[in-house]
Amino acid sequence: MILDMSIKELGRHKIRTALTVAGVAIGILLVTSLSSFSEGINSIIETEMSYLSGMVIVVPEGTSWANFATGEIDESLEDELSEISGVERIAGMVVGGVPGVGTIYGADTDDLDLFDIDIEFADGRMMEDETSEIVLGYDFAEQNGYKTGDEIAIRGKKYEVVGILQKFGSEEDGGIITGLRTAQEILKKEGKVTLFMIKPVNINDAKEIADEINHLYDNIRAGTEEDARREAQEFAGQIGIMTFAMGSIAAIIAGLGIMNVMFMTVRERRREIGTMKAVGATNYQILMEVITEAIMIALVGAGLGIILSYFAVEAINAELGTSGIAKITPTLLINVTLFATFLGVIGGFLPARQAASLNPAVVLRYE
């Protein structure tokens, strides 16, 4: 009964209801779209960090596992690190961005397995080291219309596309992969790498190797999967709090809009509410009807905002040239829906209390 009355009441003022719903939709759109960054990062952590199990990752001191590409390590350290007891294999990778092009990943072809880079091709073949050959991630090729045999000009030099990887749902889908020396040339980082990956003889020795590297060197830091995962999750959590707070400002404003509309509704319906109470409606029933109307406005707006956010996230990923950096997850949808419900309850509570406190005798006499 309460639900039917709420729907009927919202239909009386279609334009006002539609504008309020639109305000909520915009707020939820911002909350969902901005929060999708932290969800995407968490998803990447779960998929990308799993391959680090039993491995040791070495990055420049002062950088985190999440943004190691901002630093550099002298490539000559590879020989020293390989002499540490318990090290089976070591390889360096250079990663960096080129304005107007995208992200470049460089590693020797024999070492790509250490970095969990899949080498299954949708078309073409693997590049050869120390040549002007490059391999494109699936999304990068798709979005830019490249195919095998094409040439891409990067910083004044042409590079031949010899392969396009299959789509794997990882960061590499949106980038360019090439040999270590070629990437160093493109990124102007000759003799430098951005990280080393170390495979221990025994995976149980990973922490011991990392501790020894940290003890011996001041300009680099080493860690295991556990260290990288913990730091990356802390980073994602900070991003999540910041983005959710930014989007929530707009959503809270929409909540105030709900409150304003519900106060207007209560004011317009004073005689009707008085009549309902006079014929037996309880304060609780009046309270619940007004709150239900507010929640319905919030949830309809949330539904519209969520639909729009899917288009926004697709546009964000396309603009950034990445796959999955922004992602809408079931957890995010649940949180956004609960948040919208909370806005509805808060926006409707004070008007509902005002409605429930009306004296039917006074209202029917003067209204």
DSSP line for 287-316: HHHHHHHHHHHHHHHHHHHHHHHHHHHHHH
What's the CA dihedral at 304, 309, 315, 316 to 10 degrees?
A: 160
Q: Are residues 323 and 289 in the same domain?
A: yes
Residues 214 and 84 in one domain: yes
Q: Which has the minimum average pLDDT: 34-43, 81-90, 108-117?
A: 34-43
Q: Is residue 350 part of a domain?
A: yes
Taking residues 127-154, what's their average pLDDT?
92
Instruction: Confirm whether 228 is domain-assigned.
Output: no
The residue out of 199, 223, 247 marking a domain boundary is 223
Domain end marker among 164, 198, 223: 223
Same domain for 64 and 207, yes or no, is yes
**79 and 194 fall within a common domain:** yes
Q: 197 and 119 in one domain?
A: yes
**Which has the higher per-residue pLDDT, 84 or 317?**
84
Domain housing 71: 55-223
In a domain, 87, yes or no: yes
Last residue of a domain, one of 223, 254, 285: 223
Burial of 188 (0-12, 13-18, 19+ CB in 10 A): exposed
Q: Which two tokens stand for residue 106?
A: 């460089």
Q: Which residues pair with 158 in a beta bridge?
A: 153
Tens of pLDDT, residues 58-81: 988 887 766 667 789 999 999 999
Answer whether 186's CB lies under 8 Å from 155's CB. Answer: yes
Question: Is residue 202 in some structural domain?
Answer: yes
Percent of the chain with pLDDT over 90: 29
329 and 204 together in one domain: no
Output the six-digit token pair for 157: 């030099």
Residue 3 has pLDDT above 70, yes or no: no
Assigned domain for 14 exists: yes
Q: What distance in Å separates the CA atoms of residue 71 and residue 96, rounded to the nearest whole number?
A: 10
pLDDT at 173 over 60: yes
Q: Calculate mean pLDDT across residues 130-149.
A: 92
Task: Report the pLDDT value the prediction gives residue 366, as an integer from 0 to 100.
Answer: 47
Q: Are residues 180 and 239 in the same domain?
A: no
Are 156 and 219 found together in one domain?
yes
For residues 12 and 105, state if they share a domain: no
Measured distance between the N- and C-terminal CA atoms of the chain, rounded to whole angstroms? 25
Q: Considering the domain boundaries, does residue 50 fall inside one? A: no
Q: What is the total count of domains within the chain?
A: 2
Using CA of residue 54, residue 59, residue 65, residue 68, what is the dihedral sign? negative
Average the pLDDT over 294-322 and give the result: 84
Q: What's the rounded Cα separation, in Å, for the pair 169 and 322?
A: 9
Residue 275 in domain: yes
Amino acid (1-letter code) at residue 206: A
Same domain, 213 and 289: no
At 176, list the tokens: 């360019």
- Higher local confidence (pLDDT), 328 or 271: 328
Do 76 and 139 share a domain, yes or no?
yes
User: Quick one: residue 292, left, alpha or beta (phi over 0 = left, psi -120 to 50 = alpha)?
Assistant: alpha
DSSP per residue, 206-218: HHHHHHHHHHH-S
Q: How many helices (H) and strands (E) does the chain have?
A: 11, 12
Taking only Cα atoms into account, the Rg of the chain, rounded to an integer number of angstroms, comes to: 29
Q: What is the pTM of this model?
A: 0.60
Q: Are residues 77 and 204 in the same domain?
A: yes
User: What's the CA gap between 31 and 248, in Å, rounded?
Assistant: 6
Tokens (6 digits) for 191: 């003799």
Residue 309 lies in a domain: yes
